[in-house]
A = this chain, B = another copy of it.
Amino acid sequence: NSLLKEIDFYLVTDSGLSKKGTLSDVKESVEAGCKIIQYREKDKSTKEMIDEASEIKRICGDRAIFLVNDRIDVALAVDADGVHIGQDDMPIETARKLLGADKIIGLTVHNVDEAVEAEKKGADYVGLGSIFDTSTKKDAGKGIGPARIREVKNAIKVPVVAIGGINKENCRSVVENGADSLVAISAVVCSDDVKKETREFIDIIKEIKNSSSP
């Protein structure tokens, strides 16, 4: 999927935090130019997840990559573009076998060693985190700091997506340290205007990428 080379702001859905609901968040974010959506849902039935995922796939169309968090069954059922898996999910080798060579698989990593291992095992990108201290959900706890992004970036060729405690204030340091893309869940889905927030993140990321490229 060639869109993977163009990703900047990366939306992860969160129905628990969302103000207007997952489908609205996806729609507004894609309209604002977001090129990658990860559907993360832990509390709904498989049937509800498949229904919602198939709506998200329709919204994304060929404008944005559509990944499903953890649930390879849901990804297969709606023919998503791929999955994002963490350390508590299906092993990447098994996921690759079930999804085939063409699907995108992103893997959560916490350091250089895990990133190198992920690339070796066929990850199409890595989600690196937590960058900053965070108190929410997965990868909670102490942040590794933005300087670590550069180390990881230097060690692998696949895109590095930064995640964890990122907001509009600290996101500059993340991109300046080499992140190809970043996730900022609460900064976006807790907002009244997901479209505007997404747009602003994209603008900041693009500005820094353009000024730092040769």
B72 lies within 8 A of A90 (CB) = no
In the complex, which residues of chain B have a beta carbon less than 8 angstroms from the beta carbon of A87?
47
Chain A interface, DSSP helix/strand/loop, else mixed: helix
Q: How many copies make up the complex?
A: 2
Interface size on A, residues (CB 8 A): 19
Interface residue ranges of A61-83 to B (CB < 8 Å): 70-74, 76-77
A46 lies within 8 A of B89 (CB) = yes
A145 is an interface residue with CB less than 8 A from chain B: no
A16 is an interface residue with CB less than 8 A from chain B: no
A91 is an interface residue with CB less than 8 A from chain B: yes
1/0 per residue, CB under 8 A from B, across A35-52: the answer is 000000000011110100
In the complex, which residues of chain B have a beta carbon less than 8 angstroms from the beta carbon of A74?
73
A50 lies within 8 A of B94 (CB) = yes
B98 lies within 8 A of A77 (CB) = yes
Closest to A90 in B: B46
Interface residue ranges of A84-124 to B (CB < 8 Å): 87-91, 94, 98
Once A46-B70, A70-B46 are accepted as A-B contacts, the answer to whether A76 and B98 lie under 8 Å apart by CB is yes
Partner of A98, one of B47, B73, B88, B90: B73
B76 lies within 8 A of A45 (CB) = no
- Tell me, in angstroms, the Cα distance from A94 to B51 when the chains sit together: 12
29 residue pairs of the A-B complex, CB under 8 angstroms, read: A45-B88, A45-B89, A46-B70, A46-B71, A46-B88, A46-B89, A46-B90, A47-B87, A47-B88, A47-B89, A47-B90, A47-B91, A48-B88, A50-B90, A50-B91, A50-B94, A71-B73, A72-B73, A72-B76, A72-B77, A73-B73, A73-B74, A73-B76, A73-B90, A73-B98, A76-B98, A77-B90, A77-B94, A77-B98
Interface on A for B, CB 8 Å cutoff? 45-48, 50, 70-74, 76-77, 87-91, 94, 98
